[in-house]
Amino acid sequence: MSILSYIDNTIQDFAEISDNDVTFCDIFAGTSSVGKYFKNKGYNIISNDIEYYSFVYAKHFIENNEKITFNKLKDKGIQSVFEYLNKLNDKKGFIFQNYTISGTQNQEYERKYFTEENAIKIDSVRNKIEEWKNNKLIKENEYYYLITCLLEAADKVANTASVYEAFLKDIKKSAQKTMEIKPLEILTNDKEKKYFVTNEDANLLINKISGDVLYMDPPYNTRKYDTNYHMLETIALYDNPLIKGKAGVREETKKRSKYCIKKEVETVLEDIIEKAKFKYIFLSYNDEGIIPLNRIKEIMSKYGEYKVYEKNYKRFKADSNRDYLKDSTIEYIHCLKKC
């Protein structure tokens, strides 16, 4: 069973909700996979993540709810936006200068995240999207749509094992291919459904929202998300950041999430649960998380009826060559009916 069906079945089993008018909050949204699934089910969605690139994904996948037309570009004679973007190759910008061999050859670190051809394409497309936005040739929803399409396309040709904390020594096969930016799906649902997408610390946002189901999939270990995904953040923001080290991570990183700090995580978890104005709370956490199972149970039980579901899952393939790791994990979903 997929993780998404497991989450859905758990919610159906534990919560008494009719599928008619449910407000569902995905407060640590990441790639929006959970929000997308429940949008498709017809729920109203609140989506949040502290990372900007995640926000961009949700602005497209969650908030965009009708066909994208690009009317103004068409008026200017650009009939096929993707064909136009895929032909661009006129900018050696920030990505070329900092993340390719040619761009970095006289710098302290040589980096090999993209081929020269693809880095130029990323820079050219990203510049064009910004120019169109500044010249009011695309609407806000079209802007987020195009950046999401670019992030997906760039990620497919990145020379990494999975995340961006390191690049590979040799350019792998998929990274040698020419990047192609393609139209992504647009999930549409009833016009009356409500979608709200935001970009802040979950423990601050929780004071301002309410609904039926709060779904939480926070980081479960001490690895920093902004290091793992710095490239997507930089392509999304395109803000010429100061970068550092062999991986070229953003220098001014956000403070480490308290969900990644052993001494703080229980406090922030309890804080969000206490403040949540939601009938039901579901927390995904696995058996390698930094909070022990019994502590989650103790914390959540203070605020209502508690139950935990568990399932074994094969480990994500990017970790499979690290043989000291187990090849499966137990995915827990901790459930709470608040009273």
Ligand X SMILES: C[S@@+](CC[C@H](N)C(=O)[O-])C[C@H]1O[C@@H](n2cnc3c(N)ncnc32)[C@H](O)[C@@H]1O
| Nearer CB in complex with ligand X: 93/289 | 289
Residues with Cβ within 8 Å of residue 252, at least 6 apart in sequence: 241, 242
Give me the least distance between CB of 225 and ligand X, in Å please.
Answer: 4
Distance CA 35, CA 216 (A): 11
Which helix (H) or strand (E) segment holds residue 117: the answer is helix 116-134
Question: Please, which residue, 238 or 259, has the CB nearer to ligand X?
Answer: 259
**3-class DSSP assignment, residue 150:** helix
Q: How far is the CB of 131 from ligand X (least distance, A)?
A: 29
E strand segments, 217-263: 243-244, 249-250
What is the 3-state secondary structure of 263-292?
A: HHHHHHHHHHHHHCEEEEEEEEEECCCCCC
Q: Which is nearer to ligand X, 26 or 212 (CB)?
A: 26
Q: Of 96, 228, 115, whose CA–CA distance to 179 is shortest? A: 115
Place of tokens 């902004």: 226
Sign of CA dihedral 8, 13, 18, 22: negative
Q: What backbone phi and psi angles, to 5 degrees, belong to 272? A: -70, -35
Q: Which residues neighbour 88 within 8 Å (Cβ) at sequence distance 6 or greater? A: 121, 124, 125, 128
Question: Which CB atom, from 10 or from 104, has the smaller least distance to ligand X?
Answer: 10
Closest distance of CB 290 from ligand X, Å: 13
Say what angle helices 140-156 and 230-237 make with each other, to 10 degrees: 140
Query: Which residue number has the CB closest to ligand X?
Result: 30
Q: How far is the CB of 53 from ligand X (least distance, A)?
A: 9
Looking at the Cβ atoms of 153 and 216, the one nearer to ligand X is: 216
Report the nearest approach of ligand X to the CB of residue 321 (Å). Answer: 21
Query: Quick one: 85 or 216, whose CB is closer to ligand X?
Result: 216
Q: Which is nearer to ligand X, 163 or 171 (CB)?
A: 163
End-to-end CA distance of the chain: 31
Joined together, the tokens standing for residue 51 give: 């990372």
Report in angstroms how near the CB of residue 198 gets to ligand X at its nearest.
Answer: 10
Q: Note the residues at the interface with ligand X (CB under 6 A).
A: 28, 30-31, 33-34, 49-51, 54, 201-202, 217-219, 225, 257, 259
Q: Are 144 and 186 in contact (CB under 8 A)?
A: no
Minimum gap (Å) between residue 112 Cβ and ligand X: 26
Q: Which is nearer to ligand X, 97 or 286 (CB)?
A: 286
CB 156 to ligand X: min, Å: 17
Three-state secondary structure call for residue 38: helix
